[in-house]
Amino acid sequence: MQALTTLGAAIGHLFYPHVCAGCGSDKLGQDTALCWYCLDELPLTGFVDQRDNPAEKILKGRLPFDAVHAGFYLSRDSLMEDLIYQFKYKRQIALGEQLGLLLGEQLKESSRFEPEALVPVPLHPKKLRQRGYNQATIIAKGIAKIIQVPIIEQVLIRKNFSGSQTLLSRMGRWENSRSLFCIENPHRLRNKRVLLIDDVLTTGATLESCGLQLAAIPGVSVSMATACISSL
């Protein structure tokens, strides 16, 4: 049986070469997109237990939050820049989920993050159709596998400006005309500790906009986590 499984894996390998997304090496396990060498090279921030960390400093004073974490540094011409590019533009979905798993492991170790719901930053519907997946949702799926918290995507909605005004007005009093985002079905998050998820923290504008919407739901407290913090 073992021999058959190995043979099956070997044949699969011929048709679908399984190589590291970082360096192209074929010396990696079946359940990983990165070899041990590349995993070891990923630039950890260590922010998870650090109050007033650089990610929190970016968002401080712009919205109420409990804690912010970004798992890895993203710098120019780096391994991480290449990985994020492959994940967002080359359909390397397994790689994105693995970044989520790594982020989940970090969050699990910290008492600062004990979310009851994961909310990925929504992608514009047009972009979602083009790309076929929301990268923030893929990262959230990885996190959810580690910390066993549900992903809620029916509440924080990205407004579709090509949609009719009637539809927008039906979104009711939760709509904030200055924001690209709005809230539907607020009861699904009421009184919950929410972890807002995105791929990369740069200026913090998207997290601020989304977080303000979430924080307006009664009883909701917001924390945020991104795979990377950008220094580009």
Applying CB under 5 A, the residues found at the interface with Zn ion are 20, 22-23, 25, 35, 38
Least Cβ distance, residue 167 to Zn ion (angstroms): 46
Are 96 and 131 contacting, i.e. CB atoms less than 8 angstroms apart?
A: no
Least Cβ distance, residue 27 to Zn ion (angstroms): 8
When the beta carbons of 82 and 184 are compared against Zn ion, the nearer one is 82
Angle between helices 135-147 and 79-89 (to 10 degrees): 110
When the beta carbons of 23 and 147 are compared against Zn ion, the nearer one is 23
When the beta carbons of 20 and 140 are compared against Zn ion, the nearer one is 20
When the beta carbons of 82 and 153 are compared against Zn ion, the nearer one is 82
Least Cβ distance, residue 199 to Zn ion (angstroms): 20
Least Cβ distance, residue 31 to Zn ion (angstroms): 15
Residue 193 bridge partners (DSSP): 221
In angstroms, the CA 21 to CA 42 distance is 13
Length of the chain: 232
Alpha-carbon torsion (59, 146, 131, 182), positive or negative: negative
When the beta carbons of 6 and 25 are compared against Zn ion, the nearer one is 25
Least Cβ distance, residue 24 to Zn ion (angstroms): 7
In angstroms, the CA 97 to CA 136 distance is 10
Which helix (H) or strand (E) element contains residue 224? strand 221-230
Are 65 and 113 contacting, i.e. CB atoms less than 8 angstroms apart?
A: no
